[in-house]
Amino acid sequence: MQKITPFLWFDDQAEEAVKFYGSVFKNTKVTATTYYGEEGPGEKGSVMTIAFELDGNPFVALNGGPAFKFTEAVSFAVECATQEEVDYYWEKLQAGGGKELECGWLKDKYGLCWQVVPTVLWQMLAEKDPAKFHRAMQAMMQMTKFDIARLQQAYDGK
C-alpha cells in the first residue's frame, strides 16, 4: 500500500474529472466513492470523494466547494517514451478547455497542471558534459510541447 496519495480538491466536478482522467489514462479504475451525509457540508447524498487509480497510481478527488483552486505550484509529470505518447497526452489533457504553458507544462480544463515529458529529456538533463546539458536546456526552454527530435538535435549539437 502506498503511503502518499495525491488528494485533488474540486468545487463540485470530482465525478466529471475522474471520468475525464479515465478517458486519458487507459488503465484507470475507481476504487471507492463516499457520499455526504446530513452533516454536510455538501448536499446529502452527493459525492464527497472518489478514490481512483491512474496507471496504478492512487488519487482521491474531493468535491470540497469553491474555497480552493489548483495552481502551478503542484503538477503531475507524465513520462513518455515516444513522440506519439507526448502528442497523445498533450492533446488529451488539454481537451475541453485546457491551456498550453511552457516547457512541457499544461493546465487541464479543471486547472490542474501536468508536465508531459519525454523520458529522454531526464537523461539529457542528467548529462555530465556541460555543453550537451546547456544545449538541451536551451532547446527545452524554447518549447511549449516537447519535440523529441529537436531536443536530440540540440543535445547532439546539430
Q: Are strands 113-118 and 75-80 parallel, antiparallel or unpaired?
A: parallel
- Provide the residue ranges of all domains of the chain, joining segments of one domain with +: 1-67, 70-158
**CA-to-CA separations, 49 to 3, 18, 104, 150, in angstroms, rounded:** 18, 11, 30, 42
Q: What percent of the chain has pLDDT over 90?
A: 93
Domain 70-158 bears CATH identifier 3.10.180.10: yes
Q: Given pLDDT bands bounded at 50, 70 and 90, which one contains residue 1?
A: low
pLDDT for the residue numbered 3: 85
Name the average pLDDT for the chain. Answer: 95
Spatial distance between the Cα atoms of 19 and 128, rounded to a whole number of angstroms = 42
Query: pTM value?
Result: 0.91
pLDDT in tens, 67-124: 999 999 999 999 999 999 999 999 999 999 999 999 999 999 999 999 999 999 999 9
Give me the architecture of the 1-67 domain, per CATH.
2-Layer Sandwich (3.30)
User: Grid coordinates representing 82?
Assistant: 515516444
Amino acid (1-letter code) at residue 127? E
SS3 state at 131: helix
